[in-house]
Amino acid sequence: MTDDADIRARFWRALHSDRTVMLGLQGGEAAPRPMTVMTEGDADHGPLWIFTSKETELGEAVQTTSQAFFTFASKGHDVFATVHGLLSPDTDRARVAKLWNPFVAAWYPQGQDDPTLLLLRFDPSQAEMWLNGSSLVAGLKMLLGADPKQDYQDYVTKGPLA
């Protein structure tokens, strides 16, 4: 049996490792697109940080705080999530410097002073997370006529992310 805390812990481990999400704005102002999220350290809570350009659809749409969401699938397809929260621009130059790395630098030829650089802050509020409950045992149970819903109910959690 898997409990909510275990599912959340697995989500955070996978997110720290994989870091690519499909981020979009509620209401369709910016369709979901692949973005890299970062945390400060190994924190298992928000905020999450995203670098983008002011010239992207997302960058143009996020002038102030906006309702946003992202979907996530771990590389091993063993953890999935939909996370809702608030997305806002962050102008703290010290935070930009702290999060700056060679992967981010590759997108901004003028470095941290690039005029198109935009740092976004995502504060998660609600999430639904799933573990991949597929297994050989689950498949055999279904073939033998067992109801799979009972087995899968322990692989999902919903509520605050922290």
Please answer whether residues 35 and 83 qualify as being in contact, where contact means their C-beta atoms are separated by less than 8 angstroms: no
Residue type, 21: V
pTM (2 d.p.): 0.83
Nearest C-alpha neighbor of 122 from the set 8, 11, 14, 36 = 36
CATH number of 4-159, picked from 2.30.110.10, 3.40.50.620, 3.40.630.180, 3.40.309.10: 2.30.110.10
Enclosing H/E stretch for 137 = helix 136-143
Q: What Rg do the C-alpha atoms of the chain give, in angstroms?
A: 18
pLDDT per position as a tens digit, 15-57 = 999 999 999 999 888 999 999 999 887 777 889 999 999 999 9
Model confidence at 108: pLDDT above 80: yes
Report the chain's mean pLDDT, rounded to a whole number: 86
Per domain, the residue ranges of the chain are 4-159
